[in-house]
Structure 1
């Protein structure tokens, strides 16, 4: 019982509604009963006061208690309001008594029988004329409600009861609707989560009709499902690409070794060199994978120091100039007009920039140009810009260039195109620096990559020193 969220919401809503309904109905009934009783008491007091005034007037006029008008007044009150009177003179002698009318009416069956145990209340009033006591009037009336009054109060109670029952039914109905509507979004989330657990990565939660709070959770869930679907696709692609990368050199080595074993090939230096090259391809692949795993390690520690962007750029230019000259590609450096300081791990920074510059060299034809520069357009960041006039990339490839083993041109030779891990390492190291990568590229026109490094970092080293990366 009360295991589900909907049953708990329904139970507590109904509990609160019932308590509220009972309290309201009780206070309405109690307040109305007390107000009605006070009204009857005030009305009775006015009638008694009027009788006292009439008797005093009659006595002053006639000098005794024998007027038929007084007797008729007492009789009317007895017949209509069950308000009986006993009139005594100054000596205590009973002059008029209308209380006997009740017994006469009961004997003729003209009134309701007197309830068993009914209590009566009496109250005495002194009669005065010219400040002289002339008699005493005793008013007698039942403590409870009389016939019409009792019928009226019962009718009111019946209406209150009907209203309470109707309110309870409405409370149950609306509580069921509200609890269902409130938990419907959570049921969708639960169903989608179970589907996701069953590896249904295409599941998405419709956002229409959901409350704002649940909608935010649904949006986060959809983003998570989309991310998992993408990761699953990349995992499969990674496994396939890795198998392919390993299969080619392993198959070559296997065939060559078997040829040596079977005596088909003589182990000449040239053939041994070919086998060694295939073996080194495997070694480079393993090394690159180790570098990627190290770069993606969430516990990677960066030895950050304060660096000057112009010095870094100059060192990079001097490092790569011979390679560019050998291929016949121009390497141009745009000098920085002023000093720009930022914090980074020197070795990791050179690794990042070297990977990007190596890619630019690989895919820039002879006679073209590669430009390196520093940008300060972004506040609180220093950017290294590497722009080439190489092969470029299509817009469809740009979102995936930092994924492992990804190459936009599937026909590129593994030996010239690399194994597709270099940019993954760059992305991991940039994330470790809390940096930003921006890529712009047009096919057959060139690529522009900007690497933004924050000038100041919260994890600032305890002591700063100006270091040139030479």
Structure 2
């Protein structure tokens, strides 16, 4: 059986990646810095050598005595020996080519030693070259009085102090790189832990959510926008799944409650009649038939809810004037409302939205039905008002009544399936409790929102908000 490859943790992978990148950056930076510094220093040395050669020529040119037509041998010797110790081997000629002073003839052993030392030093510095000779005219008062040949290591060479400086500089660059790498390791590990910690928490939370632990909240502070959004997304997912699970359980409980009453009543009646306790009279059979119809009505309501939600996924969008839609629906409710002593008053202005006309008509109908149903009948004071208006880039439908109202703790629940403010759950007064659930489903499918409010005096107010797109 082939074993699965061992997976590295995100923290280890991120740390390794950061350390690799830092190592490459620091290494390349150190190499580049060393290269640039070495090139700049070499250029500086070349300029110094050129200046030194010019100074030697200037000093030697001044040692010609124009009156006696002779050279100052003592000073020339001093210049030659001083230059020799600096790595310059001089040979001075007059205009006729006669040798005035020659460092190699003066001290061949010392010249050889100087040349060996310089060659060894430059080989250690990884700069390979050779000794070359350059000739310079000696000019006094505008006249050529001789010339000098200067032998030196080319293209440039380091003195002993220069060589020590280069070595010290390389050591400093190396130490700085090592210190920077050590600091980078610590910083990288801390950074990796700071980044990975919230991701690890989100991963564990997601695993717990997958295991059915809904409603958990990740407590993690981070200044990183993407990590903050990730944590918020997981928390919102957990909350949404918790609400969905709660709604599912509530739905199961509500359906069970809806079915239990007619089934219990039907079972009791049938058992009494089959056991001979009751006579199967027409009235009792009619009661059983009503309970069967009640069960059929519940099933029909469930089918209606499922059909509505399926239809919302395939909206037939068109340009709809909500005010015109309301004006066409209100008259069909006025007669029924009038029988109950309820007055319906509509007002508004054109509000054009891109929507499914049939679905939006269902929204208006459900809201009017709900308002009429829960407004006290036959006392002449019942009032249902519906307003349509636009504000900004949104259209609004507001339905207000002065009926029995909604308790504060029920405002967030009335859009749940099978929830009814009528605690008796009487289907003759409360219905199945899916009208507002269907209404919210339709509004949400249009990208809108619906909210319920309790009026200060009495009654309730439902506001539908649809974007005008």
Normalising TM by the smaller chain, what interval? 0.7 to 0.9
Return the match for 1:314 from 331, 351, 362: 331
- Retained in 1: the 8 A contact 2:350–2:389? no
Return the match for 2:146 from 104, 120, 135: 135
- Retained in 1: the 8 A contact 2:139–2:145? yes
- CA shift for structure 1 position 404: 0.7
- 1:178 matched to 2:191: yes
Aligned length: 444
- CA shift for structure 1 position 289: 0.8
- 1:48 matched to 2:61: no
The change in CA–CA distance for 1:159 and 1:312 in structure 2 (over 3 A counts) is same
- Retained in 2: the 8 A contact 1:313–1:372? no
Counterparts of 1:114 and 1:346, CA distance in 2: 97
Return the match for 1:125 from 126, 136, 153: 136
- Retained in 1: the 8 A contact 2:405–2:460? yes
Structure 2 residue aligned with 1:22 = 31
- Retained in 1: the 8 A contact 2:342–2:372? no
Structure 2 residue aligned with 1:157 = 170
- CA shift for structure 1 position 235: 0.9
Counterparts of 1:335 and 1:375, CA distance in 2: 6
- CA shift for structure 1 position 272: 0.5
Structure 2 residue aligned with 1:95 = 100
The change in CA–CA distance for 1:130 and 1:212 in structure 2 (over 3 A counts) is closer
- 1:265 matched to 2:265: no
Q: Once the two structures are superposed, what CA deviation does each residue of 1:238-265 show, in whole Å capped at 9, x if it has no partner?
A: 1111122212222222232233333332
Secondary structure in 1 matching 2:133:
strand
- CA shift for structure 1 position 429: 3.0
Return the match for 2:20 from 11, 30, 37: 11
Secondary structure in 1 matching 2:221:
coil
- 1:420 matched to 2:433: yes
Structure 2 residue aligned with 1:200 = 213
- CA shift for structure 1 position 232: 1.0
1:220-259 alignment runs, 5 A limit: 220-259=233-272
Most deviating of 224-233 and 97-106: 97-106
The change in CA–CA distance for 1:14 and 1:257 in structure 2 (over 3 A counts) is farther
Counterparts of 1:337 and 1:171, CA distance in 2: 67
Counterparts of 2:261 and 2:226, CA distance in 1: 53
- Retained in 1: the 8 A contact 2:348–2:388? no
The change in CA–CA distance for 1:48 and 1:2 in structure 2 (over 3 A counts) is farther
- Retained in 1: the 8 A contact 2:353–2:466? yes
Give the TM-score of the pair, scaled to structure 2: 0.81
Most deviating of 60-69 and 348-357: 348-357
Structure 2 residue aligned with 1:38 = 46
Q: Once the two structures are superposed, what CA deviation does each residue of 1:384-418 show, in whole Å capped at 9, x if it has no partner?
A: 52413x32211110011010122345444455333
- CA shift for structure 1 position 157: 2.4
Counterparts of 1:453 and 1:174, CA distance in 2: 51
Structure 2 residue aligned with 1:72 = 78
- 1:299 matched to 2:313: yes
The change in CA–CA distance for 1:359 and 1:75 in structure 2 (over 3 A counts) is closer
Structure 2 residue aligned with 1:189 = 202
Q: Which 5+ residue runs of structure 2 have no aligned equivalent?
A: 1-6, 124-128
Most deviating of 167-176 and 438-447: 438-447
- Retained in 2: the 8 A contact 1:438–1:451? yes
Secondary structure in 1 matching 2:151:
strand
Secondary structure in 2 matching 1:29:
helix
Counterparts of 1:342 and 1:131, CA distance in 2: 100
The change in CA–CA distance for 1:285 and 1:302 in structure 2 (over 3 A counts) is farther
Cα RMSD for the two superposed structures: 3.5
Secondary structure in 1 matching 2:271:
helix
- CA shift for structure 1 position 222: 1.7
- CA shift for structure 1 position 204: 2.0
The change in CA–CA distance for 1:412 and 1:283 in structure 2 (over 3 A counts) is closer
Q: Once the two structures are superposed, what CA deviation does each residue of 1:435-458 show, in whole Å capped at 9, x if it has no partner?
A: 54342225993223345667x7x6
